[in-house]
Amino acid sequence: MAASPRQKVNLADSTRSYIKMTENSWNWVTLPTNLQVIKFGNLPQNDTKNFICLSYLGSGAEGLVWLAMTEQGTGCVIKLAKSVRPISSRSNQQELTTAQTQRKDAEAAEHQIASDRLQTEANHWKILWGIDAQVKDIGGQPALVMSYFKICAQDELENNPQIRTAVVNAKKKNGKLQAVFIDLSNVVREQEVDAIADMIMMEKLNLTG
């Protein structure tokens, strides 16, 4: 496999098919014919309901993440609550058995819990960094929509003094954020003064050396 021929895959390729997610479903599409550039920075408009998934970024305990864009070319990141069934599988039926009703109610409760958890994460982004994030249903699941950030690799953190300084300080320079900690799904408030809380955080992140 290592010797197999490989071909570079472009992020935006008019010959490829992409997953397009609406509020309640998904399907395969090609890129919009009038797409000229994908613009990263600003969030999509809050009423945006259609997203095209460009690249799978990974998954964790809290969900799975896609690099995506709107049909107008606004780039963003979508974090889906992967454990929740799509709304389409919980669609209304004329008559439900008791077991079906109980299952539907349980799935609705699970959906609400996941949505509330993502809203808490969105609140953390606003409180800690002043960055807006949106919570909405995408592909039938609760999702968090936010701006894209380039992830700092461990070797960059260890070997690039400028990156390390930015991450350790995680502060603004000339009014612009230089670095942020992105995993805000499970944040614990330290009951200490700011200086001690900062030290505890840096020790947990292995950034004290």
pLDDT at res. 88: 44
Please say whether the structural domain 18-146 has been given the CATH code 1.20.140: no
Question: Is pLDDT larger for residue 46 or for residue 106?
Answer: 46
What is the model's pLDDT at position 42?
Answer: 87
Per-residue burial over 148-185, b = 16 or more CB atoms within 10 Å of its CB, e = otherwise = eeeeeeeeebeeeeebbebbeebeeeeeeeebbeeebb
* Positive or negative: CA dihedral 186, 112, 131, 43: positive
Domain boundaries, the chain: 18-146, 154-204
Q: What is the mean pLDDT of the chain?
A: 78
The tens digit of pLDDT for each residue in 125-150 reads 888 778 899 999 999 899 999 988 87
Per-residue pLDDT, averaged over 40-69, amounts to 89
Q: What is the rounded distance in angstroms from the CA atom of residue 9 to the CA atom of residue 133?
A: 29
Question: What is the rounded CA–CA span in Å between residue 115 and residue 6?
Answer: 40
Question: Is pLDDT of 17 > 90?
Answer: yes
| The predicted structure's pLDDT at residue 170 | 56
Structure-token pair, residue 53: 């998934």
Bridge partners for 69 per DSSP: 52, 75
Q: Greatest CA separation found in the chain?
A: 64
What is the three-class DSSP state of 98? helix
Q: What is the DSSP track for 103-168?
A: HHHHHHHHHHHHHHHHHHHHHHHHHHH----EEEEETTEEEEEE---PPPPHHHHHH-HHHHHHHH
> Can you give the pLDDT at residue 6?
64
As a whole number of angstroms, the distance between CA 22 and CA 150 comes to 26
Band of residue 171 on the pLDDT scale cut at 50, 70, 90: low
Interior angle at CA 35, CA 176 and CA 137, nearest 5: 70
Q: Of 6-20, 149-163, 177-191, where does the model show the most confidence?
A: 6-20
Answer yes or no: is pLDDT of 87 > 50. Answer: no
Confidence at residue 127, expressed as pLDDT on a 0 to 100 scale: 82
Cα–Cα distances in Å, from 45 out to 37, 48, 81, 98, 104?
17, 6, 21, 41, 31
Over residues 193-197, the mean pLDDT reads 60
Question: So what's the pLDDT on residue 190?
Answer: 54
- Can you tell me the mean pLDDT for 180-199? 60
Tokens 């002043």 correspond to 130
The pLDDT value given to residue 208:
62
Hey, what are 194's tokens? Answer: 């700011």
